[in-house]
Structures are given as structure tokens and as C-alpha cells.
Amino acid sequence: MSRFAMVIDTRRCVGCQDCVVACKTENSVPQGYCRDWIVEEVHGAFPTPHLEIRSERCNHCAEPPCVSCCPTGASHVHDFGGVVLVHHDLCIGCKACLAACPYDARFIHPDGYADKCTFCIHRVAKGLDPACVSVCPTHCMHFGDLDDPTSEVSRLLASRTHHTLLPEAGTQPRVFYLT
């Protein structure tokens, strides 16, 4: 078994959106939509604000509410690395999963089905990194298997402080942010 995860170093990230545009070309994401995006979070006041920049996407949660609410089984957890995916042909476009995702990571593709980040599973299956990871000019993104203690993601999580998004939502995200 493997559990794929992404570890993103917010210290290195400059928020350039290369991950976004790489995803758009790799996955032919239609114009006006995105599967990943940049969030800038500012705490404090000038002249001593604190800024965290994050590349966000589907968190491929271990407890995915989008999967449990799906009436047709279109949203599912894939055996390969526990990635959360959508069968386009099973999806009826009811949008329950969009409403169920606390991260608003999904959207309705113009062709009618729910769509989102796939962790570029088609690339991962070929031994490549997801497009966003492979393109990042700051090398702030890492992809790998949490079940492999020697993987880069496991090592980074063991050695650096990190957080996930909305852990209180109980979804157990698999995208981690190093601080």
C-alpha cells in the first residue's frame, strides 16, 4: 500500500502560479477554471506583517467528505496511493461534492462532471512527479508516499514543522505545508 501526499515549503514558495499554469496545460483544464491556485495569507500589521503563500489544491483527504456524499460512486478513493478521483461517466453533476468540500477544491467542468486535482495520477503511474511539482521553479513542492519512511515527503514531515488546511474539519488532508 502507498499513501500519496504533497509537501509544500511555504518558505520557498513565491506564489508565482507556475503550478497553476502547468496544471492547466498538462490536464487541459478549461479556460476560466483551475485545479490548483495560490493563497496569500497575511497576519499582523504594517510594517511587521507575516505572509504565508500557499499553493493549494484538492487535499486528497484520508476522510474525504466529497466521496462519502457522492450518490453514484463517481467520487472515489483510488487504490493507487489513496488518491481521490472522479469517474466522469458516473458523475451526474449534482454538485453535492462541491458543497461538501471545505476547501472548495472542486468545480463543475464545462462538460458537466465534477473535476479537480488528480495528483496527476497519469504521470505518477509513469514514475513522474505531478505537473505542478515538476515545474516549480522554487522547488518548494514535493510528492511521494507517506507509507515509505525513506521518501522525501516522509523525511520532510519528520524534520520540519508543518500544518494542514482546516485540520478541524476532520478530513485528514494529505497536502502538508512546511512553515
Question: What residue has cell string 449534482?
Answer: 94
95 near another protein, rule: CB under 8 A = yes
Q: Which stretch binds another protein (CB under 8 A): 77-85, 117-125, 133-141, 149-157?
A: 133-141
Q: Give the residue with the Cβ less far from another protein, 2 or 63.
A: 63
CB of 158 to another protein, least distance (A): 17
Q: Does 79 help bind another protein (rule: CB under 8 A)? A: no
Please, which residue, 62 or 169, has the CB nearer to another protein? 169
The answer to whether residue 40 forms part of the interface with another protein (CB under 8 A) is yes
Q: Is 77 in the site for another protein (CB under 8 A)?
A: no
C-alpha grid cell for residue 8?
Answer: 509544500
Q: Which three cell numbers stand for residue 4?
A: 500519496
Helices (H), the chain: 18-26, 65-68, 96-100, 121-124, 131-135, 152-159
For the bound state, the minimum distance from the C-beta of residue 75 to another protein, rounded and expressed in Å, comes to 9
The H or E element that residue 36 is part of is strand 36-43
Q: How many CB atoms lie within 10 A of CB 16?
A: 15
Q: Which of 18, 59, 145, 156 binds another protein (CB under 8 A)?
A: 18
Contact 55, 8 (CB under 8 A): yes
Interacting span for another protein (CB under 8 A) from 47-55, 77-85, 118-126, 145-153: 47-55
- Cell numbers standing for residue 79: 487504490
